[in-house]
Amino acid sequence: MPAPAPRSNEHFDVAVVGGGAAGLHVALEAAEGGATVALISRKSLAESASFWAQGGLAAAIAADDSPARHAEDTINAGRALCDPRAVEVLVSEAPAAVAKLISYGVQFDREEDGEFALALEGGHSARRIVHAGGAATGQAITRCLAGRAAESGLIKVLEGASALALWSNDERCWGVITDRGPLRADATVMATGGGAALWSRTTNPWGAVAAGAVLAHQAGAELAGLE
């Protein structure tokens, strides 16, 4: 007999766990489509790994560059341990992602002639790194996306709220159990980042402990590529 649907005082179209650039982007994309969104971040949006990221974004947008060349560089830098399918998604969608960030209001650094100030960085064979505010790229992107989320009437940002578990059974995920109570959602997105803060020597903020992967695993998701 199917389990009854859970009850909650709050029901959203989408619940996003994670307040970094990825979570904010998902929330904005969903809201653009008319969805109501709950964005759950156990820290301030200014404490995410995205906020503190000083490097730029890699995208093959120069005339003498290409996604294929970007893919080759990525696989070589990863010592051939990369998932080729993931690399293909990364390099093929990167230019459009930069364009989308610009549409949100992110001001990437430009040359005097208006072209992108592309940098050449480790592991890359071409100038393809875009920055915003020099080394403050993460702050520039996160502040811009957070501002857009705050302006949206469809996004409810829950800073300081912790996701304790995914609200699920053998049939589906119903939403998220938080320390403020359950949030029911038709779709749930985990965007909590990696687990670099599990190590004593790290440049990541304290919250980067792979919490999202743990919650997903506890709910029955299969994990891959954790190394």
Tens digit of each residue's pLDDT (9 = 90 or more) over 86-103 = 999 999 999 999 999 999
Please compute the mean of the pLDDT values over residues 184-198 and round it to a whole number. 91
Nearest partner of 123 among 73, 80, 170, judged by Cα: 73
157 Rama sector, left if φ>0, alpha if ψ -120 to 50, beta otherwise: beta
Percent helix, strand, coil in the chain, to 5, is: 35, 20, 45
**CATH fold for domain 1-50+158-227:** FAD/NAD(P)-binding domain (3.50.50)
Pairing assessment for the beta strands 57-58 and 181-190 based on DSSP bridges: unpaired
Specify whether the CB–CB gap between 182 and 12 falls below 8 A: no
Coil, helix or strand at residue 33: coil
- Give the C-alpha separation, 21 to 49, whole Å: 9
Banded pLDDT at 1 (limits 50, 70, 90): very low
pLDDT at position 179 over 90 = yes
Query: Cα separation of 99 and 104, whole Å?
Result: 9
Residue limits of CATH 3.50.50.60 in the chain:
1-50+158-227
pTM of the model: 0.89
The predicted model gives 119-144 an average pLDDT of: 96
